[in-house]
Amino acid sequence: MNENPLDYGYIAYVDEAGDPNLAKVRPIDENGGTEWIVLSAVVMRSKWEHDLPVWLDAIRDDLGLDKSGAIHFRNLSPTRRLAVAQKLATLPVRAFAVCSKKNMRG
């Protein structure tokens, strides 16, 4: 058993995309939220935690993005989306996504 309860072996960064209001969903309902909801996570070993800012800066440099801003996939062109995905594929991380469409109404 680990003697230090603050030690951890993995880090998970979790994010969601989509509209949490499920009462009205497009295209079924007029003025509804998006029909997609996505829950995603990037998981990595804690030993890489200090390298993460360097990785993000490199991705921003490759794309010509402002170093202070977040990288939002939905705001990227198809070419930049591919570049980010290819860069992520070289990093010691694993990415997961759960996607749901339409069946979330109500």
Q: Distance between the two ends of the chain, CA-based, in angstroms?
A: 45
Q: What is the pLDDT of residues 35-89, one digit of tens each?
A: 788 899 999 999 999 999 999 999 999 988 888 778 888 889 999 999 999 999 9
Sketch the domain layout of the chain as residue ranges: 10-101
As a whole number, mean pLDDT of residues 99-105 equals: 71
pTM for this prediction: 0.75
Q: What is the pLDDT of residues 1-43, one digit of tens each?
A: 556 666 899 999 999 887 666 777 777 788 777 778 889 999 9
d(CA 46, CA 92): 11
**What pLDDT, on the 0 to 100 scale, is given for residue 81?**
93
Rounded to the nearest 5 degrees, what angle is found at the Cα of 96, between the Cα atoms of 91 and 99?
A: 145
d(CA 4, CA 2): 6
d(CA 67, CA 56): 8
Neighbours of 44 (CB within 10 A): 19
pLDDT band at 104 (very low <50, low <70, confident <90, very high): low
**Which one-letter amino acid corresponds to residue 24?**
K
**What pLDDT, on the 0 to 100 scale, is given for residue 45?**
96
